[in-house]
Amino acid sequence: MSTAIINISSLVTNDPSLGEGPLGLIRDAAVVIDGDRIAWIGETSKAPATDNAVDAEGRAGLPGFVDSHSHLVFAGDRTAEFNARMSGRSYSAGGIRTTVAATRAATDEELEANLVRYLREALRQGTTTLETKSGYGLTTHDEARALRIAAAHTDEVTYLGAHIVAPEFADDPEAYVALVTGEMLDACAPHARWVDVFCERGAFDGDQARAVLEAGRKRGLTPRVHANQLGHGPGVQLAVEVGAASADHCTHLTDADVDALASGDTVATLLPGAEFSTRAQWPNARRLLDAGATVALSTDCNPGSSFTSSMPFCIALAVRDMGMTPDEAVLAATAGGAAALRRTDIGRLTPGARADLALLDAPSHVHLAYRPGVPLVSAVWRRGIRAL
């Protein structure tokens, strides 16, 4: 069954060979979907005959957002902590413990219902691929169940047993690292593709982080790293050294960190929702882009540091406060996220790619930044199926 979406005023393909500029923009475009894939893409006047047609009536189109960093297997809420921050308290990694207690106390059904709720919320805002992590269980049983639940509902799953040192191990962090790299890893590896670690003061230092990533790699997981969020540290350099797919946050960078990101193939994933919700300094996207690094934008959706599931909101912040142009931000939220997940079948609209796309109630993708806070996403196809 083939469907043509016609009369798209301007379509971002992210394939420069298909249209103008780095976004491969096509005017008066049409997309033909066959099954779960894109079968054809071009101008509406040249579109081939199909079984069905949907008239976009001049709306803009773009690839569905690829949110490559979220923490959605959790229970409870941290409104009180957010309120305290907005009255001047500062953010620290220790808040994670509140969510760990609530998550351990929740049933599988409660965790699953919560996850599904936020996935739907993300989809309504144009997200068609989402990565999520464990990290609020911190026991072998609770980490493995988080990953099982995540794997049942999301595309990309990351083992983050090394989010913080579990409260039971407060006096013996090395014993916790041994658990994360031993028995817990054995139970978790079958459910995940990625291994992550929060390399930060108050969480794990460079040596501990390296041990976690190397152990994960030996079990077939590919590294990604929470790096340089709250201050300078070894996270970014470590990520590049171990060949991580992504270094995430990248808020506090030295010139050497920027050079490392620009010369390796580790994507710099920026998470402006976290700086917004912790009133922290913005990551400098301009500096990374000018140095030649690949940049992704993601939500980091979690109940502590960034409780937004909205990629359009992150795009608006990146344009307003991080030195990105609207084109760069849209690229980072689609193709950038795909690069951070080492995926070539998503994040762009080309024949053979997955039919994941969104239409906006706007004449172009630039309105995502130009009209912040406005729910512009008006239709979504995911794997070729109309999902909104």
Q: Applying CB under 5 A, which residues contact Fe ion?
A: 300
Rg (the chain; Cα; Å): 20
The answer to the question of residue 99 lying near ligand NIG (CB under 6 A) is: yes
Given 96, 242, 330, 355, the residue binding ligand NIG (CB under 6 A):
96
229 binds, among Fe ion, ligand NIG, none (CB under 5 to 8 A by kind): ligand NIG
- Residue closer to Fe ion (CB basis): 54 or 96: 96
Q: How far is the CB of 142 from ligand NIG (least distance, A)?
A: 15
- Choose the stretch contacting ligand NIG; rule: CB under 6 A; options: 91-99, 181-189, 216-224, 336-344: 91-99
Is-contact 56 8, C-beta < 8 A? yes
Distance CA 312, CA 54 (A): 24
The answer to the question of residue 283 lying near ligand NIG (CB under 6 A) is: no
208 binds, among Fe ion, ligand NIG, none (CB under 5 to 8 A by kind): none
Distance CA 134, CA 131 (A): 11
The answer to the question of residue 140 lying near ligand NIG (CB under 6 A) is: no
Q: Is 212 buried (19+), middle (13-18) or exposed (0-12) by CB count in 10 A?
A: buried
Total of chain residues touching ligand NIG, rule CB under 6 A: 13
Distance CA 239, CA 323 (A): 24
CA 180, 185, 188, 193 dihedral sign is positive
* Binding site members: 69, 71, 78, 136, 163, 226, 229, 300, 302, 304-305
Given 229, 251, 294, 310, the residue binding ligand NIG (CB under 6 A):
229
9 binds, among ligand NIG, Fe ion, none (CB under 5 to 8 A by kind): none
The answer to the question of residue 181 lying near ligand NIG (CB under 6 A) is: no
- Choose the stretch contacting ligand NIG; rule: CB under 6 A; options: 146-154, 210-218, 297-305, 346-354: 297-305
* Binding site members for Zn(2+): 69, 71, 226, 300
Touching ligand NIG, residues 305-344 (CB under 6 A): 305-306
Phi-psi region of 202 (alpha: psi -120 to 50; beta: other; left: phi over 0): left
Is-contact 23 13, C-beta < 8 A? yes
The answer to the question of residue 222 lying near ligand NIG (CB under 6 A) is: no
Six-digit token string for 259: 């050079």
Provide the residue type at 230 as one letter.
L
Q: How far is the CB of 22 from Fe ion (least distance, A)?
A: 28
The answer to the question of residue 226 lying near ligand NIG (CB under 6 A) is: yes
Residue 94 is classified by DSSP as G
Contacts of residue 150, Cβ cutoff 8 Å, sequence gap at least 6? 72, 73, 115, 132, 133, 134, 157, 191
- Choose the stretch contacting ligand NIG; rule: CB under 6 A; options: 58-66, 94-102, 286-294, 310-318: 94-102
Six-digit token string for 128: 């068609």
Alpha helices per DSSP H over 242-349: 255-263, 272-278, 285-291, 311-321, 326-331, 337-340
- Choose the stretch contacting ligand NIG; rule: CB under 6 A; options: 23-31, 41-49, 296-304, 359-367: 296-304
Q: How far is the CB of 82 from Fe ion (least distance, A)?
A: 16
Provide the residue type at 95 as one letter.
G
The answer to the question of residue 212 lying near ligand NIG (CB under 6 A) is: no
Q: Which residues bind ligand NIG (CB under 6 A)?
A: 71, 95-96, 99, 198, 226, 229, 274, 300, 302, 304-306
